[in-house]
Structure 1
Amino acid sequence: MSGCLDNFQINTPEWLDLSEKRNAVSSIVAGVLFFTGWWIIIDINSYFSSEDFNNAYHLCGIFATISLFMINAVSNGQVRGETYNTGFLGQRAARVWLFIGFVLGFTPIIAATWILFAAYVIPNKRVIYPGIGLFLQNVLIFAGSLIFKFGRTEDYLN
């Protein structure tokens, strides 16, 4: 089925052409998302007591941050096998490392969702902002890691 919007074009202004600045823009957006996630949890920790927000919940954010580093430690060329074909496991090790990074990225989101419902929504606590903030922190960190991974281009020098 051919798209009905194939011939529809929007003239973008010159100042909005970000093709040359794609790496910078995606890095800034990813950094702002990462910062906002941690800022939310710092706000929650400073405002609420340890009865309302257990300090063990910080492990979700720590694992999400480790996932960010793991996901972005492997380049797309290494995963495709274009730039990394030597070593002990080569391309296979890069793919396994990336897979573990993604698993480690989804795990804190699932755990934060569990904490949100098990500790705040189901017991009918009057304040659920700590649970929502914990969930938002992990979603923002994971979104930042995805933007930082797939939003940049990799230009290799020969």
Structure 2
Amino acid sequence: MAGFLDNFRWPECECVDWGERRNTVASVVAGVLFFTGWWVMIDAAVTYPGQEQMNHAFHTCGVFSTIAFFMINSVSNGQVRGDTYGEGCFGRTGARLWVFIGFMMMFGCLIGAIWILFGAYVTQEKKLAPGLAVFFQNAFIFFSTLIYKFGRTEDLWG
């Protein structure tokens, strides 16, 4: 099965040169996803203000997911590979550990949002909208992190 897609090439659209716009498109898409995640959660918090409708502790997943977003994207891919960063307190190992902790926090928030959705709303037969808001907030922040981290090139200004 290895090598099954080695010779496959995606059709290239020659009408748009994505090489020069890749950073811009990735940043805009990631920003829109991040904004949408928080917008969904703020809308749910305003629509369901009571503690019995939506527990205020459920906002914790989104806050920690946002912290993980900044943790992951504060380290460049070159620092993780060791291309541009070799000195300092921890060097390449510290950068890798920082990104690893950020991803573990991000995955934990996403799993926690799924647990909140099913544990607090689906099994209790309550309205699903607040639980879906918690899940979609964390899913949108997760995907915005991936797009921003891996969708850009290293040379941001050139």
Q: TM-score, normalised by structure 1?
A: 0.90
Aligned residues: 155
User: Is 1:53 paired with 2:68?
Assistant: no
Q: Deviations over 1:31-90 (max 9, x none)?
A: 000000000001101111322111111111000000000000111111111111111221
Contact 2:41 2:137 in 1 (8 A): yes
Name the CA distance, whole Å, in 2 between partners of 1:141 and 1:97: 18
The alignment's C-alpha RMSD in Å is 2.0
Name the CA distance, whole Å, in 2 between partners of 1:55 and 1:41: 11
Partner of 1:113: 114
- Does the residue aligned with 1:19 lie in a helix, a strand or coil? helix
- Does the residue aligned with 2:152 lie in a helix, a strand or coil? coil
Name the CA distance, whole Å, in 1 between partners of 2:92 and 2:5: 41
Name the CA distance, whole Å, in 1 between partners of 2:31 and 2:40: 14
Partner of 2:22: 22
Name the CA distance, whole Å, in 2 between partners of 1:122 and 1:114: 11
Q: Letter of the aligned partner of 1:61 in structure 2?
A: G
Name the CA distance, whole Å, in 2 between partners of 1:156 and 1:36: 24
**How much identity, in percent, do the aligned residues show?**
51
Partner of 1:154: 154
- Does the residue aligned with 2:93 lie in a helix, a strand or coil? helix
Q: TM-score, normalised by structure 2?
A: 0.90
* Structure-2 change in CA distance of 1:44 and 1:156 (3 Å): closer
Q: Deviations over 1:110-130 (max 9, x none)?
A: 1111111111001112x1111
* Structure-2 change in CA distance of 1:7 and 1:93 (3 Å): closer
Which aligned pairs between 1:2-151 and structure 2 lie closer than 5 A? 3=4, 6=7, 10-14=11-15, 16-50=16-50, 51-125=52-126, 127-151=127-151
Where do 5+ consecutive residues of structure 2 fail to align? none
